[in-house]
Amino acid sequence: MRTSLNEIKQIDDYLFRHTTEADHLLFEARLILQPTLREKVLWQQRTYDIIRQYSRRKLKAEIETVHQQLFNEPEHHSFSRKIRAFFSSFDSAQD
Partner 1 sequence: MAEMMVTEDVAAERKAFFMDLYQKAFPLVARYVSSMGGSFEEAKDVFQDALVIYYEKLTTAPIELQHSEKAYLLGIAKHLWARKNNSKQRHTSLDDSLEGIAATENDPASSTEKLMELLNTAGQKCMELLRAFYYDKLPLHKISGLFGFSGTRSATVQKYKCLEKIRDTVKEKSLTYEDFLE
Contact status: 83 vs partner 1 (CB under 8 A): yes
Contact status: 38 vs partner 1 (CB under 8 A): no
Contact status: 52 vs partner 1 (CB under 8 A): yes
Inter-axis angle of helices 21-33 and 3-15, nearest 10? 120
Binding residue for partner 1, selected from 57, 72, 73, 77, defined by CB under 8 A: 57
Round to whole Å and give the CA distance between 45 and 52: 11
CB of 1 to partner 1, least distance (A): 6
Contact status: 77 vs partner 1 (CB under 8 A): no
With the C-alpha atoms ordered 19, 21, 24, 26, is the resulting torsion angle positive or negative? Answer: negative
Contact status: 73 vs partner 1 (CB under 8 A): no
Binding residue for partner 1, selected from 34, 56, 73, 77, defined by CB under 8 A: 56
CA distances to 5, 11, 26, 34 from 31, rounded to whole Å, are 17, 10, 9, 5
